[in-house]
């Protein structure tokens, strides 16, 4: 392939896309490893650590490109990529950070390099496959995508959080690359070229679709397990649970509302929920006695991140993001003179919101509908849908 070949640019876009989707945890580690350093050293740690990681990643991927020329290795790599792609669609399981606190420029660079080395197996295999044996294409793709991930990591992570379809598309892309690997292994490529050329596009397409279908199915099972756990807790108070189900379905306001849980994430949908609550306050029988519990739930960082970052640093990271998410709602409530108490949690948002509402004895949950769920929650958004399914308190969803 050369620069005038359309296949060159398609493969380049594949490399960039794969690396962006698979490098989220690497970007978080880079940001957190440099977090405790002075501002000037933060920039140096990120620049030196990321630069060294780029060189290391290029060398490792060139080695992988050469190894993939051997028989059977592409088949093994394709199977591994399919597994990685399916896992990409699963809810993350968190671990408490147990690494030591990073102190000093050298320690930060060492952490960035070590984390990138350990966490980049999936990147290396996927990028090597997408490069199709072209070292030039490989170097250009990594040189563009890795700095993009590093220096725009926060923007990329926010986009992936708010638009989960990006992750789905990335998983499908990995499935496509895996299918292409499987039919271009030296052991089967001659036969495919001679007898079944359609497999060069058919196998990637089937693998891409299979990854999304299987990944979504497994993710739905895990989500159902979370919902079942919440429902089991609700079963302890069957009368309250039945009343909550009716109230959630009708979205009516209880006549004696005293405590309201208001989960927020800093979005405009959350702000709309705050405004709706303020509008309802005047209609309540004891509006002056209303107490609002503001809640922000941060999704846990993956276990890969916690292997290299200390628990204290992860805790500070979650606190900072929670404060940013709570600030807009806090300002609206303060300006209206509404008494409120702030709460911060880390966990799966839906079950955690329901658990906090029960813990605080809230009469109602008022929350915004972000509409970012999958086909199973197209109208309400996955978090709101999850809360409705497991909450023992009525849920008012505001658009």
What are the residue boundaries of the structural domains of the chain, listed by start? 6-216, 235-398
For residues 196 and 386, the model is more confident at 196
The model's pLDDT over 69-80, given as tens digits with 9 standing for 90+, comes to 888 888 888 888
Buried b (16+ CB within 10 A) or exposed e, 71-86: eebbbebbebbbebbb
For residues 352 and 95, the model is more confident at 352
Asked if residue 142 lies in contact with residue 57, where contact means CB atoms within 8 angstroms, the answer is yes
How confident is the model at residue 238, as a pLDDT? 45
Asked if residue 182 lies in contact with residue 203, where contact means CB atoms within 8 angstroms, the answer is yes
For residues 307 and 256, the model is more confident at 307
For residues 304 and 219, the model is more confident at 219
CATH of 235-398, one of 3.40.50.1100, 2.60.40.10, 3.40.50.10800, 3.40.50.620: 3.40.50.620
The model's pLDDT over 264-277, given as tens digits with 9 standing for 90+, comes to 988 888 899 999 88
How confident is the model at residue 241, as a pLDDT? 44
Span 307-324, average pLDDT: 84
Check whether 306 has a pLDDT greater than 60.
yes
Both tokens of 269, joined, read 């949908």
For residues 159 and 262, the model is more confident at 262
For residues 137 and 287, the model is more confident at 137
Task: Give me the chain's average pLDDT, please.
Answer: 77
For residues 153 and 107, the model is more confident at 107
Span 136-152, average pLDDT: 74
Asked if residue 258 lies in contact with residue 362, where contact means CB atoms within 8 angstroms, the answer is no
The answer to whether the Cα torsion of 84, 89, 90, 96 is positive or negative is positive
CA distance 57 to 123: 9
How confident is the model at residue 374, as a pLDDT? 37
CA distance 141 to 145: 6
Say which range, 23-32, 87-96, 345-354, has the weakest mean pLDDT.
Answer: 87-96
CA geometry: angle 246, 252, 258, nearest 5 deg: 105
Asked if residue 10 lies in contact with residue 138, where contact means CB atoms within 8 angstroms, the answer is no
Span 320-344, average pLDDT: 91
Query: Any idea which residue has 């052991």 for tokens?
Result: 187
How confident is the model at residue 256, as a pLDDT? 63
Q: Provide, rounded to the nearest whole percent, the portion of the chain with pLDDT above 70.
A: 73
- Residue 331: pLDDT band by 50, 70, 90 thresholds? very high
As to burial, measured by CB atoms within 10 angstroms (0-12 exposed, 13-18 middle, 19+ buried), residue 263 is buried
Asked if residue 21 lies in contact with residue 306, where contact means CB atoms within 8 angstroms, the answer is no
Q: Provide, rounded to the nearest whole percent, the portion of the chain with pLDDT above 90.
A: 16
């Amino acid at each position: 392939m050369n620069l005038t070949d359309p296949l060159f640019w398609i493969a380049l876009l594949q490399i960039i896309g794969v690396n962006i989707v698979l490098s989220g945890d690497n970007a978080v580690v880079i940001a957190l490893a440099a977090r405790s350093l002075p501002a000037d050293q933060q920039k140096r740690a990120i620049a030196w650590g990321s630069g060294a990681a780029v060189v290391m990643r290029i060398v490792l991927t060139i080695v992988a490109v050469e190894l993939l020329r051997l028989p059977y290795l592409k088949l093994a790599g394709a199977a591994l990529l399919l597994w990685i792609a399916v896992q990409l669609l699963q809810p993350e399981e968190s671990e408490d950070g147990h690494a030591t606190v990073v102190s000093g420029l050298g320690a930060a660079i060492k952490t960035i390099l070590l984390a990138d080395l350990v966490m980049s197996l999936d990147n290396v295999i996927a990028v090597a496959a997408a490069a199709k044996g072209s070292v030039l294409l490989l170097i250009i793709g990594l040189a563009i995508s890795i700095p993009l991930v590093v220096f725009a990591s926060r923007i990329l992570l926010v986009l992936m959080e708010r638009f989960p379809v990006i992750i789905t598309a990335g998983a499908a892309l990995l499935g496509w690359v895996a299918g292409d690997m499987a039919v271009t292994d030296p052991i089967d490529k001659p036969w495919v070229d001679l007898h079944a050329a359609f497999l060069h596009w058919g196998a990637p397409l089937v693998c891409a679709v299979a990854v999304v279908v299987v990944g979504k199915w497994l993710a739905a099972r895990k989500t159902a397990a979370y919902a079942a756990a919440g429902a089991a807790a609700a079963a302890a108070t069957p009368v309250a649970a039945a009343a909550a189900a009716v109230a959630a379905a009708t979205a009516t306001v209880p006549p004696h509302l005293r405590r309201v849980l208001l989960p927020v994430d800093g979005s405009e949908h959350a702000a709309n929920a705050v405004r709706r609550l303020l509008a309802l306050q005047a209609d309540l029988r004891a509006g002056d006695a209303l107490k609002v519990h503001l809640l922000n739930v941060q999704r846990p960082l993956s276990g890969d991140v916690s292997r290299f970052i200390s628990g204290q640093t992860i805790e500070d990271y979650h606190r900072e993001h929670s404060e940013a998410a709570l600030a807009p709602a806090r300002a609206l409530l303060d300006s209206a003179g509404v008494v409120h108490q702030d709460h911060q949690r880390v966990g799966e948002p839906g079950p955690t919101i329901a658990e906090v509402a029960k813990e605080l004895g809230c009469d109602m949950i008022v929350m915004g509908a972000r509409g970012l769920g999958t086909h199973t929650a197209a109208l309400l958004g996955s978090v709101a849908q999850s809360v409705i399914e497991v909450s023992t308190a009525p849920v008012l969803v505001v658009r």
